[in-house]
A and B are shown apart, each in its own frame.
Chain A
Amino acid sequence: MRRQDIDKGVQSVFLLVALFSITALSLIMVFLFLEGIPIFETVSVKDFVFGKYWYPTDEPADFGIMPLILGSVYVTLLAGMIAIPLGIMTAIYLAEIASPRVAEIVKPIVELLASMPSVVIGFFGMVVVAPFLQKLFDIPVGLNMFNASLMLAFMAVPTICSISEDAIFSVPTALKEASFALGATHNETIIRVIIPASLSGICTAVILGLSRAIGETMVVLMAAGGAAMLPTSIFDPVRPLPASIAAEMAEAPFGSEHYHALFAIGVVLFVFTFGFNLIADYISHKFRQVGEASL
């Protein structure tokens, strides 16, 4: 066999392996839907998504996941309110202001925060933050929406920070220099030139950060309180989508309605994060910054 033929063969093997990711993603979708669809023989899609009561083990059972969806949405939004400013500000600090020596300390800190196992953060929320909140705000339960959001925020910050930082870093120096040459201070340059120029990257960062927060399981399982009801204040316990799946899978017999309902929740969760990712992908391609000309 000629070595050129070997080369062709090798190339096809690599192509096949590279297709593995898309295959895995398709398999995930197929199995989620296969196991999730059967629940819609019992409840309609509308009652499932908009139903207000989630009592999957009652007789007859109620499969309405609105409280779970709202739990997820609220927790994620609240986490975003903390993580978005914190993440972006840290990114600006790292990319624009910090001296290389300081950046070399702060960056590993952010990376270590990213690598912190979610179960440890959930555990910390449970045993340290919950009693603290209980005392501080004089509330009956420390495991609630606010606690979970706070913990989730610190899981989303590293994602938001590192992607924003890349975007800010890639703003051409010429733009900065032009702004300085017009007499703008560094502060004004950051606000008027650098942030607008890196906005698409920052948006991508925010979306991916929120996507990570909405799919995060252990933190909301351990620190959110776990009550499947519509929350009325930020100190109410909630039961977000991932927490329901994780908490109830053990007690749902294989092939039962409950089992299929949990897979259907998985579908909803998947659709959420898939949507977030498609939007992020769209923004980063559509508004990709190509030199100064794109402004």
Chain B
Amino acid sequence: MIKQRLFAQKVNFSLLKIAAWINGAALAIIVYFILSRGWRAISWEFLTKPPTDSMTAGGILPCIVGTFLLCLVTILIALPIGVASAIYLNEYAVQGRLVRLIRLGINNLAGVPSIVFGLFGLAFFCIVLKMGVSALAGGLTLGIMTLPVIIGASEEALKSVPQTYREASLAMGATQWQTIYKVVLPAAFPGIITGSILGLSRAAGETAPIMYTGAVFFTPDLPGSIFDEVMALPYHIYVLATAGTEIEQTRHLQYGTALVLIALVFGMNLTAIILRSRLRKKVRT
């Protein structure tokens, strides 16, 4: 009897193990295809030259610059608002209807589909606020989308600061704001940065929110400011793969761009993951 039960356990546990590794396999397969077919496209020219011959040759410099500009606007809007929201929720707020409402707002904002953010950005930033299709409008749209991630990460970082720190500071006669500013924030800082990198990496890879708010097919020059329309890495992949004139001939450019995007996003994520695991070890000891 016990033998049977242990046998059932063995079978079930193997199934669970297989399920876990299917994820690993999926990741490995995707990365393998992009890497093996994309690395040949990567060269110094590819990274530092604009596209040529109506986007069938040349590089992706304007896309890299564009994605960088979008990310810049995103973080400038999402980081201050996100951290401030987290401070209010974790340090000041008393549980009640207002906090419940704010949390409901954040949770639902996190669930809004990316294309709906795009529609909103188009109607509000581009048309009503007259920003047109620009890095500013696209970045603001991405910023609002990233906000819940940054709030969540910042709250977690604030929560991990021991209560005794706050009590010690308050006991010294500091006000609450002084305590937050001088004691709590510095202690939570690494956690907040980690979360922000994760949020930003998500924004960098998004396509749907910027399709009609910030990114365009092709710009003849590099963007001069955030008020210009930009090319962006994710949108460039989409355009080359679906709307180009020579879809088959530009395959290597598509794989190359995808590889650059993955490298960027994974690089940011790995940095955050390593930072975080170091942080956890530090907290434990």
Contact = CB atoms under 8 A, between A and B. Distances in A.
Nearest to B92: A11
Interface in A118-171: 118-124, 126-128, 154, 157, 161
A184 B151 CA distance: 42
B81 interface: yes
A21 B151 contact: yes
A4 interface: yes
B24 A276 contact: no
A249 B88 contact: no
A292 interface: no
Contact of A270 (B81, B113, B122): B113
B175 A15 contact: no
Nearest to B242: A222
A106 B128 CA distance: 46
A245 B91 CA distance: 41
B201 A215 contact: no
A109 B27 contact: yes
Interface string A212-223: 101111100110
B211 A185 contact: no
Contact of A117 (B112, B198, B261): B261
A293 to B, nearest CB: 21
Interface in A1-17: 3-4, 6-7, 10-11, 13-15, 17
B175 A215 contact: no
A250 B81 CA distance: 32
Interface stretch (A44-52, A55-63, A84-92): A84-92
A121 B91 CA distance: 39
A215 B115 contact: yes
Nearest to B87: A14
A85 B109 CA distance: 27
Interface in B101-118: 101-102, 104-109, 111-118
Interface in B25-69: 26-27, 30, 33-34
Interface stretch (B185-193, B221-229, B262-270): B262-270
Contact of A34 (B23, B89, B102, B123): B123
A119 B234 contact: yes
Nearest to A249: B212
Interface residues of B, number: 88
B19 A93 contact: yes
Contacts of A277: 107-108, 111
A208 interface: yes
A90 B108 contact: no
A285 B105 CA distance: 15
Contacts of B12: 187, 190
A154 to B, nearest CB: 5
B207 A113 contact: no
A123 B266 contact: no
Given A11-B176, A32-B116, A277-B107, A117 B262 contact: yes
Given A97-B17, A98-B20, A263-B123, A216 B9 contact: no
A245 B123 CA distance: 14
Interface in B223-274: 234-235, 237-238, 241-242, 251, 254, 258, 261-262, 265-266, 269-270, 273
Contacts of A269: 113, 115-116
Interface in B121-175: 122-124, 127-128, 144, 147-148, 151, 175
Main secondary structure of the interface of A (DSSP, over half): helix
A18 B19 contact: no
A31 B123 contact: yes
B115 A246 contact: yes
Contacts of A92: 16
B24 A109 contact: yes
Contacts of A212: 111
A215 B114 contact: yes
Given A116-B262, A277-B111, A217 B177 contact: no
A214 B175 contact: no
A211 interface: yes
Interface string A95-125: 0011000001010111111011111111110
Given A14-B85, A20-B81, 19 more contacts: A10-B177, A13-B84, A25-B109, A28-B109, A31-B128, A92-B16, A94-B20, A109-B27, A113-B26, A116-B27, A117-B204, A117-B206, A117-B262, A118-B114, A124-B30, A188-B9, A217-B208, A245-B115, A249-B118
Which 10 residue pairs across A and B have the least CB separation, nearest first? A215-B113, A117-B205, A22-B105, A187-B9, A89-B19, A18-B88, A217-B208, A14-B88, A17-B84, A93-B16
17 contacts: A17-B80, A18-B88, A25-B105, A31-B128, A93-B16, A113-B27, A115-B201, A116-B262, A119-B237, A154-B23, A221-B238, A222-B241, A242-B208, A245-B119, A266-B116, A266-B119, A277-B108
